[in-house]
Amino acid sequence: MIPELKKQHGLHTVIVAPRRLPARCLHTLFRAGAEFVLRVIGPVTRIETIDPPSPPINWDLIAVLCLSASIALMLITIGHYGGRRSESWAPLLFWGGVMALFLPMATRISWPTVSRGERILLLLILALSIFAIKLLYAPTAFAHYDEFLHWVTASDILESHRLFLENSLLPVSPLYPGLEILTTALANLTGLSVFPASVAVLAVLRGLCICALFLLYERVCGSPRIAAIACLVYMGNSNFVFFDAQFAYQSLAIVLFILALLAEAVSGDDRHARWSSLWALVLPFLAALAVTHHVSAYFAALFLVLLAALDFLRPNTARERARVAFVAASAVALPIMWSWLIGNPSADYLGPVFERGMSEVVHFIGGGSGTREFFVAADGSRTPIWLQAIGITAVAIIALGLATGFLRSIAMSSSKYRQNVRAALFDILVCQWRNSRFVLLTLVTLGFPLSIALRLTTSGWEIGNRMGPFVFLGVGLVTAVSIVCFSQQTWWRAQVVGVALTVVFLGGVVTGWGVPAERSPYKVSADALSVEPMGVEAALWSRTWLGEGNRFATDRINRLLAATYGRQDVVTSLYDRIVTTNVFFARTLSAGELGAVKAGNVDYLLVDLRLSEAAPFVGHYFEQGESEAVGAEPPEAAALLKFNDLDRVSRVFDNGWIVIFDVRSLRDAR
């Protein structure tokens, strides 16, 4: 409390209260602070200034950028070569090449005065160059875990000319055969094997994806520059470089998802042929999506239902409301109908994952500790500190872009944005927006913090990772709106934007692929890093000398090789409901382990002695949760070789590390 003041007036002392700050001053300060905040996070740039007049396509500069991309890919290739030999300079060349590939093109694409055609062409070149990063990792054969799962399905289709055959590695894969149908069709037409046919299909899909994404953003916001920058930001999602570029059903599904949204936007703007556009474009894409990937189909249903709800909130015609309701109903009905026709496998497959993930998130939000440490693999190996810094900085840049672009994006969905920003925001509050798709993509960004929270948990990590490509549809647009309001036609701002976009892209590679993006020597249970010639040769030997279709039990990596290269029938807990972990890890073969061999009708056991050398990179050798039963230490070599001492077991293959035991006599003994 401020003490009172005393003034002397002759013989009298007068008590004078302190002067209070005038209410007008408080109002002025509050208004100034509010205007400052709104200036930072609110819309201040009109749509006319976003796309100034641009010159023709600069073909000379495009040639220079193509040359720089070629040099960058050469550095990446040399980095992979050195990584296989554990050279200290390999990571520097690999990550330097990735940065050298993205930075020049991102700077040029985001420059204000670039023609629309040049932006599209550079985006296409960049997208295919990024696909080459993944291809250079293993240029002659499949290497990534999920690719082997779908390779089995594609091989079954090629050999039997039938769909829906059983796949013990991933039972749900044959039930969503969209990608395999496309790949095997090309293989049959050209005589190619599955791998080169898949490379051709995936390359086309990557180019189609980025072109469709650009057209979708451009139709939503009306600005080629915003659309191009939004595509660059989208490339920073953790699935773009690796997960959505591998031979797996989401690589096709994400393209169908974007095409369905684009077709809906085109049909909504075409007043003369809306219903014919629905039947010719939207429904075929939604139907193809429903038979290609369950998760992507569910996300498409969610997006289109929310879009219909937003269209119902704003003033609209009965015909338009009927159109969006029909699209939303179709998006919901088609995947449900397909799931019902094939036996509803998604509930058992996805239900436990969502249940565990959401329960861990609730526990974490309630004050519990996170169950997963960022940038640390299950075997304890850590990502280098400088890559950790890039990953964290990328998230911070995206968060800044969302904070400064959210209100701008909301305001741009109003027809009054060009004249009066405040009136535009008021229109949004009273549901008077003109573009429901803009509002939807802006609101989708609210899922970004949820995806980060899910990544802090062990079970929720997979959910958060799967959300990435869909959440980033909104993240890309909102961040691009923020960037164009910051980056006008000045050299230093364009450079800052190019560097920021490069950091976002590198952060996506780090969080989505991590250190395994660098080729390195063999590691235990490390997916692509565990696929090497010794295991492949053992699988090929089994096919040549033992024949196809034998029942094999082995670890998760050799299981992939035996099912694909060896064409053997592998025993898995996902399909057979039989866990064979203790058959290998137990020091002696007790009745329980023998019962698993009999129940699984196992013919051969493939033992990889390298499992005893190190902890598993992904957290388990055979099945998830096995550490609770067998402990955290690697199995003993003596336990893996206990079958040598059993009379009814014969060793039919031994290359020093990998041993195949014939257990048919042991299995059939009573």
The per-residue pLDDT for range 232-248, each reduced to its tens digit, is: 999 999 999 999 999 99
Q: Is residue 174 part of a domain?
A: no
Instruction: For residue range 569-623, list pLDDT tens digits in order.
Output: 999 988 998 989 999 998 888 888 999 999 999 999 999 999 999 989 888 899 8
Residue 539: closest CA among 663, 660, 661: 660
Which pLDDT score, from 0 to 100, does residue 402 have? 93
CATH number of the CATH domain containing 595: 3.40.50
Which pLDDT score, from 0 to 100, does residue 426 have? 72
Q: Is residue 201 part of a domain?
A: no
Instruction: For residue range 266-276, list pLDDT tens digits in order.
Output: 887 665 555 66
Q: Calculate the average pLDDT of the chain.
A: 85
Burial 618-648 (b: 16+ CB within 10 A, else e): bebbbeeebeeebeeebbeeebbebbeeeee
CA–CA dist 330, 42 (Å, integer): 37
Question: Could you give the percent of the chain with pLDDT greater than 90?
Answer: 54
Confidence grade of residue 366 (pLDDT, cut at 50, 70, 90): low
Which pLDDT score, from 0 to 100, does residue 252 have? 96
CA–CA dist 127, 114 (Å, integer): 18
Whether residue 375 contacts residue 382, with contact meaning beta carbons closer than 8 Å, is answered with yes
Task: Choose the weakest-confidence range: 161-175, 183-197, 343-357, 521-535.
Answer: 343-357
Residue 124: closest CA among 212, 243, 56, 216: 212
- Name the token pair of 406: 């959210």
Which pLDDT score, from 0 to 100, does residue 41 have? 59
Q: What is the mean pLDDT of residues 75-92?
A: 89
Does residue 489 or residue 471 have the better pLDDT?
471
Which pLDDT score, from 0 to 100, does residue 3 have? 47
Q: Is residue 570 part of a domain?
A: yes
Q: What is the mean pLDDT of residues 622-641?
A: 79
Q: Is residue 414 part of a domain?
A: no
CA–CA dist 77, 71 (Å, integer): 10
Q: Of 288, 322, 344, at which residue does a domain stop?
A: 344
CA–CA dist 366, 634 (Å, integer): 35
| Dihedrals phi, psi of 246, to nearest 5 degrees | -95, 170
| Beta-carbon count within 10 A of 482 CB | 24
Asked whether the predicted pLDDT for residue 130 surpasses 70, the reply is yes
Asked whether the predicted pLDDT for residue 4 surpasses 50, the reply is no
Instruction: Return all residues near 259 (Cβ < 8 A) that are at least 6 apart.
Output: 208, 212, 285
Instruction: For residue range 42-69, list pLDDT tens digits in order.
Output: 554 444 456 667 788 899 999 999 999 9
Instruction: Return all residues near 22 (Cβ < 8 A) that are at least 6 apart.
Output: none
Task: Choose the weakest-confidence range: 197-206, 255-264, 307-316, 453-462.
Answer: 453-462
CA atoms within 13 A on the CB side of 574: 21
Q: What is the mean pLDDT of residues 289-311?
A: 93
Residue 511: closest CA among 454, 579, 595: 454
Whether residue 342 contacts residue 175, with contact meaning beta carbons closer than 8 Å, is answered with yes
Q: What is the mean pLDDT of residues 344-372?
A: 64
- Name the token pair of 435: 């573009």
Which pLDDT score, from 0 to 100, does residue 2 have? 43
Question: Could you give the percent of the chain with pLDDT greater than 70?
Answer: 83
Confidence grade of residue 256 (pLDDT, cut at 50, 70, 90): very high
Q: Of 309, 344, 379, at which residue does a domain stop?
A: 344
CA–CA dist 472, 236 (Å, integer): 8
Which pLDDT score, from 0 to 100, does residue 315 have? 77
Asked whether the predicted pLDDT for residue 5 surpasses 60, the reply is no
**Which 8-state DSSP code applies to residue 642?**
G
Q: Give the amino acid at 340.
A: W
Find where tokens 């010794």 sit.
Answer: 534
Strand 12-16 and strand 569-570: pairing? Answer: unpaired
| Beta-carbon count within 10 A of 563 CB | 24
Which pLDDT score, from 0 to 100, does residue 376 have? 78
Task: Choose the weakest-confidence range: 74-83, 134-143, 320-329.
Answer: 320-329
| Dihedrals phi, psi of 159, to nearest 5 degrees | -80, -35
Q: How many residues does the chain have?
A: 670
**Which 8-state DSSP code applies to residue 273?**
S
Which pLDDT score, from 0 to 100, does residue 9 have? 47
Q: Is residue 111 part of a domain?
A: no
Q: Is residue 243 part of a domain?
A: no
Look at the chain and report how many structural domains it folds into. Answer: 2
Q: Give the amino acid at 56.
A: P
Which pLDDT score, from 0 to 100, does residue 235 have? 96
| Beta-carbon count within 10 A of 318 CB | 7
**Residue span of the structural domain in which 335 resides:** 254-344
CA–CA dist 659, 448 (Å, integer): 47
Task: Choose the weakest-confidence range: 17-21, 439-443, 530-534.
Answer: 17-21
- How many Å from the N-terminal Cα to the C-terminal Cα in the chain? 93
Asked whether the predicted pLDDT for residue 350 surpasses 50, the reply is yes
Q: What is the mean pLDDT of residues 243-255?
A: 94
Q: Is residue 617 part of a domain?
A: yes
CA 92, chain centre distance (Å): 25
Which pLDDT score, from 0 to 100, does residue 275 have? 61
Which pLDDT score, from 0 to 100, does residue 103 have? 96
Angle between helices 491-512 and 461-486 (to 10 degrees): 180
Q: Is residue 576 part of a domain?
A: yes
In angstroms, what CA-CA distances link 337 with 175, 294, 340? 13, 12, 5
For residue 66, the surrounding DSSP H or E stretch is: helix 59-84
What are 604's strand-pairing partners?
552, 662
Which pLDDT score, from 0 to 100, does residue 154 have? 97
